[in-house]
Amino acid sequence: MRIKKTESDLDFIGGLGSLTAEEEKALSAYFKKKKTNSISLGDQKKSRETKKALLLK
Amino acid sequence: MKSVAKKNGWNFNWRDEFKEPERDVYKLTIVNNQNIIQGLVSLEVKEDHVYMHLVESAPFNKGKNKIYTGVAGNLVAFACKLSFQRGHKGNVSFLSKTQLIEHYEKTLGAIHFGGRIMIIETNTALKLINKYFKNQ
């Protein structure tokens, strides 16, 4: 498929309308999962640090 | 804003974009001339990321003979910045035609999420912000 010359540079994005309800749902689930993962990783680190502090006492 | 019309070489209907209450349209100008619009972006802050409805360089900033390069990249970096400011960790999404997916991957570092969805995540967002906003 040939790309129009005007589209070969990064001159514009979009024009395809809004996200559909399904797309919204998929993105939301992905970002939520990502957020949860980063929180749980943070908790694990905190837990390790607490454990370390307790061991030092 | 009167000059922003299809008859003047703009691809999208920005007047309609202004009418959408949940979207904000931002313009890019140069420091010494804030009357001339170099590019426009339409953004919507979602629950967990920023969605880019439209990005467009001004007609004189398109193609081989463009006056300024990086206008669209600059506007995308702004979307990433807004995403951080709203607590969304730089996450941005937009829709792409199939034949442009690879192009956006290369030029922006965007990731093909699936279907027609592209996303920009934290690390890439930081890179774009550092590239276009390094003096701020």
Q: State how far residue B99 is from chain A, nearest Cα, in angstroms.
A: 7
| Cβ-defined contact of B53 to A18 (cutoff 8 Å) | yes
Residue A57 has pLDDT above 60, yes or no: no
* B contact test, residue of A11, A32, A33, A38 with most B CBs within 10 A: A11
The amino acid at B121: E
> Which contiguous run of DSSP H or E holds residue B24?
strand B24-28
- What pLDDT sits at residue A42? 58
Q: What is the pLDDT of residues B84-125, one digit of tens each?
A: 999 999 999 999 999 999 999 999 999 999 999 999 999 999
Q: What is the pLDDT of residues A22-40, one digit of tens each?
A: 999 999 999 988 877 776 6
* Residue A52 pLDDT class (50, 70, 90 cuts): low
Q: Which residues contact A12 (CB under 8 A, 6 or more apart)?
A: B11, B12, B54, B55, B56, B57, B62, B72
- What pLDDT sits at residue A3? 42
For chain B, the average pLDDT equals 94
For residues A15 and B95, which has the higher predicted lDDT (pLDDT)?
B95
The amino acid at B126: L
| Cβ-defined contact of B119 to A23 (cutoff 8 Å) | no
Asked if B71 and B39 touch (Cβ cutoff 8 Å), the reply is: yes
Question: pTM score, two decimals?
Answer: 0.84
The whole-angstrom separation of Cα B132 and Cα B70 is 9
ipTM (interface pTM): 0.84
